Amino acid sequence: MRSLVIEDEPQIGAYVSRLLAQLHGVVDTVGSVSDAQHALKSFKYDLAIVDRMLPDGDALAIFTALGQLPERPAIIMLTAKDSKEDVIEGLNGGADDYLGKPFEPDEFIARVRAVLRRPRLLVQPSLSFGNVELHLGSNEAVVADNKVLLRRREALILGALLTRRDRVVTRAALIEEIYGFDDEIESNTLEAQVSRLRKKLFELGGNVEIRSMRGIGYMLRMAQSR
């Protein structure tokens, strides 16, 4: 899952991003209408958390454009503009839910889960291949009946490879899927994370393997007999 937080207060944006990171996925944060529009053109998002009033305009303008997309993200307004009229305007303008500030983190997470359960956004509760299963919405995997809690990015890598099993996933595609655009990525960071994940799958008795395609990317496939 990839989420976009549109919030011009850095502390609030960082706090919301940390809450969303619990739900398994990548979170990008921007602070203006123009930056939000650029991000939405560059990436496919499952969820957008949006402050109403931004330095360069009303975020409601973003929703009007998103409403024309066949696969737009779920939209939750998170704003201090929470009068009855504001809520009605926001929901009529395209938001799926509307939450005023200040907010309770448990309620926020519950509302996020609720909008993501709606039919147009339903996804499999898990991904599996061979004797490896990844539980979506958490970082927990089951490998040969052994439960293991993966690091967040290890889980994202495994999810991306499970989704495209038996196909090559380019390094660039993998980086785009598991890192936010503000993340600093050293040249060997991805390789180190893939290496750790590969080792865990092997040590737990997984019958699948991550194969490196030199200069291209990675492929998840059934392992050869040990």
Q: Alpha-carbon distance 218 to 175, whole Å?
A: 12
Between helix 105-116 and helix 10-21 the angle, nearest 10°, is: 60
Give tens-digit pLDDT for 73-109: 889 999 888 888 888 888 887 788 999 999 999 999 9
Q: Alpha-carbon distance 211 to 200, whole Å?
A: 14
Q: What is the pTM of this model?
A: 0.64
What is the Cα gyration radius of the chain? 19
Per-residue H/E/C for 37-51: HHHHHHCCCCEEEEC
CA dihedral (136, 140, 141, 146) positive or negative: negative
Q: Beta partners for 49? A: 5, 76
Q: Measure the N-to-C terminal CA separation of the chain; round to a whole number of Å.
A: 34
Fold of 126-222: Arc Repressor Mutant, subunit A (1.10.10)
Give tens-digit pLDDT for 12-37: 999 999 999 887 788 999 999 999 98
Asked if 13 and 29 touch (Cβ cutoff 8 Å), the reply is: yes
Strands, DSSP E only, in 11-73?
26-30, 47-50, 53-54, 57-58
Residue 121 has pLDDT above 50, yes or no: no
Give tens-digit pLDDT for 188-225: 888 999 999 999 999 999 999 999 988 889 999 998 76
Asked if 67 and 95 touch (Cβ cutoff 8 Å), the reply is: no
Q: What is the mean pLDDT of the chain?
A: 86
The residue type found at 21 is A
* Structure confidence at residue 119 as a pLDDT band (50, 70, 90): low
Q: Alpha-carbon distance 177 to 164, whole Å?
A: 13
The residue type found at 13 is G
3-class DSSP assignment, residue 208: strand
Instruction: Give phi and psi for 203, each to the nearest 5.
Output: -65, -25
Q: What is the CATH number of domain 2-121?
A: 3.40.50.2300
Domain ranges of the chain: 2-121, 126-222
3-class DSSP assignment, residue 55: coil
Instruction: Extract the tokens encoding 216.
Output: 């291209």
Asked if 63 and 73 touch (Cβ cutoff 8 Å), the reply is: no
